[in-house]
Each structure stands twice: as C-alpha cells, then as structure tokens.
Amino acid sequence: MDPLVLQLLARIKIRIRQEKGLAVNTQRFFAEPQYAMQILDAAEECEDFELVSSALELRDKLGMIQVAGHTSALKPAARAPAMAAPERSAAPERYKFGARS
C-alpha cells in the first residue's frame, strides 16, 4: 500500500470524526468501494478545506476520478504536432564555428 494513500486516509479519518462525528472503518474503506465513496462524499461536503482537498487527492490516488469528454486534453499525442521536432534537410550544413583550417 502506498504510504501517501495511508496518510491521506488517516488525515480524513481524524478530521471527519471532528467535523461530522463519523467513525471511518479503514478495513471496510479498502474492501468496499461503495463505502469508500460514501466516506469521501461526506468529506467533500465539509467546510474544512484540508479535509476536502485530502478527499479529492485520495480519490485521485485511488483512481476514482474519471474525466469524461476531456480525454483529448490529457493525451500528449494531441499536442504532438505543435511540439514536433523541426524537420532536417537532406544535405547537412557546413560547420561554421570553431577552428578553421
């Protein structure tokens, strides 16, 4: 298990108990995706910025965030023509700098 994921869950677990009085079962959180979604939804409804940002970051780390319709913005191939290397000419240029003989 990724230590960052565990840190985020610990941060959420402590803060959500303070904010909403919810006790998070970590075993159930990782075993049941529906339960995890409920906990993260409750965390995102809080007024605490750190709790909301931790919940969003944990969703991202667990692969729960999926962006529909914006896949072209995420693919590097969509930007490839603008960032392509310049074409080289068939004949090499003469070296013009440095020592001359």
Residue 79 banded pLDDT, cuts 50, 70, 90: very low
> Which tokens sit at 9?
């869950």
How do the domains of the chain map onto residue ranges? Answer: 3-64
8 contacts 39 by C-beta, under 8 angstroms: no
Is residue 97's pLDDT more than 80?
A: no
Residue 68 banded pLDDT, cuts 50, 70, 90: confident
Greater confidence (16 vs 100) lies with 16
Separation of alpha carbons 72 and 76, rounded Å: 8
The contacts of residue 64 (CB under 8 Å, 6+ apart) are 36, 37, 40
Separation of alpha carbons 5 and 69, rounded Å: 27
39 contacts 58 by C-beta, under 8 angstroms: no
3 contacts 61 by C-beta, under 8 angstroms: no
> How do residues 27-40 score in pLDDT, each as one tens digit?
999 999 999 999 99
> Which tokens sit at 39?
């906990």
Residue 66 banded pLDDT, cuts 50, 70, 90: confident
